[in-house]
Amino acid sequence: MRYLLQFMALALLAGCASSGGRPEDVDYAREALLQSVSAYQICIKENNGDPKECDGLANLEKADEKRLERLNSQK
């Protein structure tokens, strides 16, 4: 649960900080997506494949994916 709150706080801060399609914003969004995917995979492994336990991380992954898509479309 602690990790979930940390990831959500980081995602919120990252969302507030990103302002456009600058290359460094795209790189940051790509890295955030990779981290959220990794966190979700770890959560699934630790919870014996039960996706209900990892809903927050799944939502974070979707949000990171949407942000990266939005930034890539602004180029």
The answer to whether the beta carbons of residues 14 and 35 sit under 8 Å apart is no
Residue 7 neighbours by CB distance under 10 Å? 21
Residue 19 has phi, psi (to 5 degrees) of -125, -10
- Cα–Cα dist 20/3, whole Å: 28
Chain segment 10-66, per-residue pLDDT in tens: 776 665 554 556 889 999 999 999 999 999 999 999 998 888 999 999 999 999 999
pTM of the model: 0.67
Residue with tokens 């602004």, as numbered in its chain: 74
